[in-house]
A and B are shown apart, each in its own frame.
Chain A
């Protein structure tokens, strides 16, 4: 790829999806295209597949110019788009047949190829099942099998692991490794998950339409060697500690991780810089760097000048402090939800105390969104008791809803309205009038740095700003309880940190926060969390407790994902035994 640029026209504006992208993807390797949503990943994939044409620059695949001869390139590659076109009403075999017909695979070769693919995917037992009845992970594997029906030389995968549970995610990666290392295929895949970058042979970091780094993932972590630490301080809450550390000079990154704070220092800065914060009994331990540390370092390097250390005043502080005696705000007992004969949520119980950040963790279809919607009063429960602030929101008076804030998945706001119009609407919806409304709107515009975007149509905002605006709308009326549905999915890591900084400040101020997520990293920010699978609670506790439960000598530092997979595997083994 050399100097590839692609722009799109959206109304009267021109959106640059890719700006002067030059890179090499090597044969026989797994190359990861890593970047947040909206960075230009899909556009680049489609340019390589010859589905789109570049405005400038050129792409050569195996020496052939894609824009000059897309057909011969397409003969050598297979492209699996983000939402693969499976026919849900056809069985696994019929889907394979269909793609075999499209690819003109001779009848005589089919049986052998199907066997090989289904064996590779571990899907042989499901060949007659309808594609619509498969789980998210299985659908993705079937999509991959259809894509591979004729073995290509280069396989393009656009975010193959989105919406896939961690177990299937590992399996998919196993298949990709097998394709590359056993069959000599080249794979170019995109992902928004930074932890997946470490599994690639080479990565291409894409941020705001540009390549900001490339090379083997080890290169990024190597540069971070000796700069990552875990900090604990018994005298302080983890969030106070994080806020204090973040303010220090020479700190690249400080994030809450379980019961501690993960600290990354600027190059050449020694760990004793922490002493400047005068934290009693502070305990600092070096840890091996992660890929994300390298990415953050790169982004911070770019934006250090642009972005000032901390943004504005802290979010609104409310009364009350987190203690063990804090009152229960969200109380759920024996909650059940059935849709027909399908049980989406199966007899779950938990409670959340004031000022707590509580996580609902699980793969798609685990029942967490259903639980979430029942708590917000959007869905009636089939059975059981649920109370938010002492009331069931489904039957409580409308005024009770005025105490909660809600931020939907995908940051749902009125796309046709400007930022100010959206804010004004939600302020009025929450009964703010007159001077109070003006004051809160000005607060939102200032606090979330939205003032320059005041008259921008919100549909056109960058994803990170959409998220800020969604949070601003949810906080307009200073709620006591905040519901967040997949709050940072797809957002770049800096925006994610900024978002959590605000949420942390709110929780410190006594706001109760309930978060759903399928992002394992996000679980680290929660005080306590439950892991859900198939409508049931598999485990409850702090992320540290969950990880500790599976710690072994062979795996001294298990990740949240390890804990999740161990729990699911144990659960399935238990079911199989019974």
Chain B
């Protein structure tokens, strides 16, 4: 399993073989506040790098969730749809959003590592 990478849109991505697990970062979940709604892409659908692939809503506002890489959605996490507060509780682990069979591994290489992302998140807080 490779290291976790991060996008400027505050998603994390973890690659296992050719399947990537994607979710939103702890920083993003804290910025959003209490998450009360989550919408995920449909299983079997294709998503394009930097395109929208879901929605999260707090009591205050709705925000798009983007996919940092292209691919086919092979699994989605129904548990966060049923109980969106899980996203605030464990955003970078059990509250993952969707899994993609990725098209192009090189898309991951352009993403940030943890250190760079933490710096980026701090600057953009």
**Are these two chains actual partners, yes or no?**
no
